Amino acid sequence: MDLPSSAAQLPLAAAILAGGESLRMGTPKALLRLSGKTFAEHLLEVIGHPRIGIRRVVAGAHAEEIASSLQPVNAEMVVNSEWRQGQLSSIQAAIRSLPQGQTSGLVLCPVDHPLVSAKLIAQLIEAFDSSGKLIVLPTFGGRRGHPLIFRASLYPELLAASAKIGARQVVWAHAAAVLEIATDEEGVVLNLNDPAALKRATGSMIV
């Protein structure tokens, strides 16, 4: 699949998805700390790639707390009032916040998958730009993980997807247009959504 040169030159957007209630963790995951940085701060650094020209932090249940505690550089806070509808609603809020027709794709970074690197983001973006595939995602040990990149042409489908199925509906609908990038970063499949998962992954409890 060849892309028009004009589309190839458009910047990417990136969204850190932090809209959930964090009931199992007991505290907003965006504000948990690892190595002196919050999950959100780390992910904001990770998405500092020069191809990413628009950055969003999507908050919901804890929007005021996250906004008051987090001062993102070169990023905009988006409040998802529909956060109770699940993660897809935060993806949709991010898409609606983007300038229409001004991005080539969207990098989605769930805040409960913070153990990923800038190197991985660069690998995914290089594959996205060179392959022309609609969706690019990492795999670890054969398991698909996060973050994902969706091409802008899929925004309408993401906006129309079922809340019960989520973004997987769009991934499944375009199975032949998904590019998997194998990585040795186990963080792509580590969902840190409760204290036990955090301890297993990092050796630390909530701090």
pLDDT digits (tens, 9 = 90+) for 106-160: 999 999 999 999 999 999 999 999 999 999 999 999 999 999 999 999 999 999 9
CATH code, residues 10-199: 3.90.550.10
The pLDDT tens digits for 159-191 are 999 999 999 999 999 999 999 999 999 999 998
pLDDT surpassing 80 at residue 205: no
* Averaged pLDDT for residues 55-62: 89
DSSP 164-198: TTTTHHHHHHTGGGEEEEE-S-GGGG----SHHHH
pLDDT of residue 37: 86
pLDDT of residue 5: 40
Q: How far apart are CA 20 and CA 111, in angstroms?
A: 9
The pLDDT tens digits for 78-102 are 999 888 888 999 999 999 999 999 9
Decide: 46 and 118 in contact? Cβ < 8 Å.
yes
Q: What predicted TM-score, i.e. pTM, was given to this entire model?
A: 0.89
